A and B are shown apart, each in its own frame.
Chain A
Amino acid sequence: MSAELAQPQGRLLKQARGWGRAVAMAGRTVGLVLVLFVVVQSLIVVQARPQDLVTGARGMADIIRRATPPDFSKLPDVLWPALETVDIAIFGTIAGVIMALPLAVLAAANVTPSRAFYYLARGTIGFTRAVPDLVWALFFVTAVGLGPFPGGLALAVHSIGMLGRLFAETIEQMDMAPVDALSLTGARRIQIFTHGIVPGVLPALLGISLYRLDENIRSSLVLGFVGAGGIGFQMMTAMNLFQYREVSLLLIVIFVLVLGAERLSAVLREKLA
């Protein structure tokens, strides 16, 4: 009796497995077609023409020939814009941290004093992050004129968004037990913040700020292209004047700057961890 019952059950089980495999196969095929569609449409939209790379190789080789050897005699002239680039990043990062920190406190769900402040802070952080630093630079160049200052302002405002979000997330993920314990001692809100919250999140916030400084040094190189000072401005001028040997020198300086900032930031962050 049980054997008779077992036979149809076994058939049903096999049939169900077969259907399961067919559905999985269909799902994989649809997924593959979707990926192919995404890749092909992107190639069409960007008008990708790999053959142009082959025909343009001669022109590229010509530029490389004209850019070598780098013109090291221009090195003293490059040092000041290089310093300007680093200082734009330092100014932007410090000003960004100063403005992002109070916003992050308001934008962290676990410590914000009210929902209205929370949404206001989140909105400000979202807006400053959504507008690219290059657009902020164009805006500030128009407002305060050419030079490194608009570059610093652009990085500061954009950093508010980037830092504010990461700071707020760090505060939201912190251990709230010491904060609750301090609030039960009768400590005031500001005391709870400075004694309970700051020591807990400070290393993480410093690490994020250092990472931002590293990012800002990269960004400040590009901001010069829209007249916001620094080594980027010098590079744009050299390119417009076809001074390719100076351009290659500037590229070496940029490489050293970016690599140096990255290493320094990584070492300091490691020490903070």
Chain B
Amino acid sequence: MLRVSGLSLCYPNGKEALRDFDLTVEAGELVAVLGGNGCGKTTLLRCIARTLAPSAGEVWVNGTDLTHLAGDGLRRARLELAMISQHASLVRRASVLSNVAMGSLGRHFTFRTALGGLPESELRAAHGHLAQVGLEGLAAQRASTLSGGQAQRVAIARALAQRPRVLLADEPVASLDPEAAEEIMRLLSRLAAAENLAVLCVLHQVELACSYAGRVVGMRDGRMAFDLPRAELSRELLRHLYLSEAA
């Protein structure tokens, strides 16, 4: 579903943020990415989503290579790929339901949607997406009134409205309390299985990665340090992963 091969990113100042990175995430699988600050986790997601152009390598999403696309072709290919981040990034003055339905805008370019309206069919579907994340009762509420955990779940519902095959999550629980973080991870894990989504999730919490991810990828200095089933993760590997940051 998501295949990354030889992905590299070298900044103009010569700094290598990503080096020859290979990764595959199958449909229905949740893969966690761990690593110290500045090791290139977010850069990896941004290169996959093509908000950053990689210097070399390929990103295949559902059989399409994103790396050679631009303009409308890239926009259309991105429909298969949704992304959530640490902050829910909702339109604060819009309702929860509208925020969710906005995820479908890429598939509906009409006079109505160009002028700020949303398709009736997608507004109806948005109720279903909200139910999937357990927030069906908050549809009419303004996004600005939501708690951090609720807002993140709305962001996930918006991603579902996009009907993607791949979901990239960049530290989705970084600003949440432990209980809300567990809820979000449980939800992502359930959605990966139920929606047959390939989920690639950057995390800082090792315990969450071990509880909810099928596989854990370790990153150090822009390179893959390991790619293992969670059962094979050892203290030694993790110590090595985070120690390099201090050194």
Q: Name A's B-contacting residues (CB within 8 A).
A: 175, 177-178, 180-182, 184-188, 190-191, 194-196, 198-200, 202-203
A residues less than 8 Å from B107 (CB atoms): 186
Is B123 part of the binding interface, using a Cβ–Cβ cutoff of 8 Å? no
B155 within 8 A of A: yes
Task: State whether B78 touches A182 (Cβ < 8 A).
Answer: no
- Given A194-B116, A195-B105, are A184 and B83 also a contact pair (CB < 8 Å)? yes
- The answer to whether B87 has its CB under 8 Å from any CB of chain A is yes
Decide if B75 touches A188 in the complex (CB within 8 Å): yes
User: Could you say which of A177, A198, A200, A203 has the most chain B C-beta atoms within 10 Å of its C-beta?
Assistant: A177
Interface residues of B (CB under 8 A from A): 49, 51, 75-76, 78-79, 82-83, 85, 87, 89-94, 102-107, 109, 113-116, 155, 158, 162
Q: Nearest Cβ distance between residue A201 and chain B, in whole angstroms?
A: 10
* Cα separation A188 to B78 with both chains bound (whole Å): 12
A184 touches B78 (CB 8 A): yes
Indicate which residue in A181, A187, A188 contacts B89 across the interface (CB closer than 8 Å): A181
Q: Is the CB of B113 within 8 A of A191?
A: yes
Chain B residues in 8 Å Cβ range of A180? 51, 89
Look across to chain A and name the residue whose beta carbon is closest to the beta carbon of B162: A185
In the complex, chain B residues whose CB is within 8 Å of the CB of A185: 78-79, 82, 102-106, 158, 162
**What is the chain B residue whose CB lies nearest that of A184?**
B83
Contacts of A175 in B (CB 8 A): 92
- By the criterion CB–CB under 8 Å, are A200 and B51 in contact? no
Task: Point out the residues of chain B lying under 8 angstroms from A200, CB to CB.
Answer: 91-93
Cβ–Cβ contact B102 & A195, under 8 A? yes
Supply 10 further A-B pairs (C-beta < 8 A) apart from A178-B92, A191-B113, A198-B116. A185-B82, A185-B162, A186-B75, A186-B78, A186-B79, A186-B162, A188-B109, A195-B102, A200-B92, A202-B93
**A195: which B residues are within 8 A, CB to CB?**
91, 94, 102, 105, 113, 116
Chain B residues near A198 (CB, 8 Å)?
Answer: 116
Contacts of B92 in A (CB 8 A): 175, 178, 199-200
CB distance from A224 to the nearest CB of B (A): 39
Residues of A close to B78: CB separation below 8 A = 184-186
Q: Kindly list chain A residues whose C-beta atoms are within 8 Å of the C-beta of B83.
A: 181, 184
A181 and B90 alpha carbons, distance in the complex (Å): 8
Decide: B114 and A194 in contact? CB cutoff 8 A: yes
A206 to chain B, nearest CB (A): 12
Q: Is the CB of B102 within 8 A of A182?
A: yes
